[in-house]
Amino acid sequence: MKIFLDTARLDEIQQAVDWGVCDGVTTNPSLHSRAVAHEGDNAIGYRERILRIADIVDGPISAECVTRTTVELIAEARELASWHPSVVVKIPIDGPGLAAIKALSEEGIRINTTLIFSLNQALLAARAGAAYVSPFVGRLDDIGENGIGLVADTVNLLDRFNLPAQVIAASLRNTDHTAEAARVGAHVATIPFPVLEQMQRHPLTDKGIQAFLDDWHKAEAALRAQPVS
Ligand code: G3P
């Protein structure tokens, strides 16, 4: 399973790249807005943000459309895709979105279909030509449905019918979500930075490191205490 960062913050992306665990990035208008708020007076616009991310990461970078008709989506997606070869255009699933996905994928523009909440939506997006489909795990869990179940069903569907789209498990909120996404075979998990940090940790690792250090110092002290012969 590949690891994408689900953030628009450059500092978080740089840290994940330094750790060697960032295969790509997904952004959306909400993440951009949060990054702008975090950056304050040094905030940058969406185009500059995507270009700066492309300087940091060697992999797909999802940039999301904010228009609603097919004609507008096609024009906006072409503009986003022209910014950098790494750009994957994010389009929400609906009728106008599907028509745009069909036209754009025929032009060779890669589409990540977002806000997927059902297997039917995933099927339609994949049939229309999307390169990626993004089921939203956390938001389904929020309403008492099984988000990881949809990821598993979507992976199986694409596999069974030999559809080339890849599944990005999105809206992941915790380390159980990331582990489960891997277990059910998601091609990609797009992960918020705090969850990526949490994935590294285990209390037994901390305890084990401390025990190794204590034992090392004990051995060193014993060696130092040996009588000089
Ligand atoms: O990947 C989509 C994600 O950014 C949405 O996450 O937590 O707002 O449902 P969330």
Q: Which amino acid is at 193?
A: F
At 228 the pLDDT is 84
Torsion 207-213-217-223 (CA) sign = positive
**121 vs 24, 89, 128, 154, CA distance in Å?**
24, 17, 11, 10
Q: pLDDT over 90 for what percent of the chain?
A: 99
Residue 30 CA, closest ligand 1 atom number:
4
User: pLDDT per residue over 71-85, tens digit each?
Assistant: 999 999 999 999 999
Q: Are 57 and 30 in contact (CB under 8 A)?
A: no
Task: State which of 4, 25, 139, 196 you would mutate to test the pocket of ligand 1, scoring each by most atoms of that ligand within 8 A of its C-beta.
Answer: 139
At 112 the pLDDT is 99
Placement of tokens 């990054």 in the chain: 35
Q: Are 186 and 153 in contact (CB under 8 A)?
A: no
Answer whether residue 200 shows pLDDT above 80.
yes
Q: Which amino acid is at 178?
A: T
User: pLDDT per residue over 97-155, tens digit each?
Assistant: 999 999 999 999 999 999 999 999 999 999 999 999 999 999 999 999 999 999 999 99
For the segment 214-227, the average pLDDT, to the nearest whole number, is 97
Q: Is residue 214 left, alpha or beta, with left meaning phi > 0 and alpha meaning psi from -120 to 50?
A: alpha
Position 157 confidence tier, pLDDT thresholds 50, 70, 90? very high
Answer whether residue 178 shows pLDDT above 80.
yes
DSSP 94: S
For the segment 203-225, the average pLDDT, to the nearest whole number, is 98
Answer whether residue 229 shows pLDDT above 80.
no
Q: pLDDT over 70 for what percent of the chain?
A: 100
Task: State which of 25, 30, 34, 93 you would mutate to test the pocket of ligand 1, scoring each by most atoms of that ligand within 8 A of its C-beta.
Answer: 30
**4 vs 62, 104, 168, 188, CA distance in Å?**
10, 23, 9, 7
User: pLDDT per residue over 11-36, tens digit each?
Assistant: 999 999 999 999 999 999 999 999 99
Three-state DSSP class for 200?
Answer: coil
pTM over 0.75: yes
List the beta bridge partners of residue 62.
26, 88
**Which residues approach ligand 1 with their CB closer than 6 A?**
6, 26, 28, 31, 136, 138-139, 170-171, 173, 190
90 is catalytic: yes
Position 198 confidence tier, pLDDT thresholds 50, 70, 90? very high
What does pLDDT average to over the chain?
A: 98
Catalytic residue among 2, 90, 102, 218: 90
Q: How many CA atoms lie within 13 A of 181 on its CB side?
A: 29
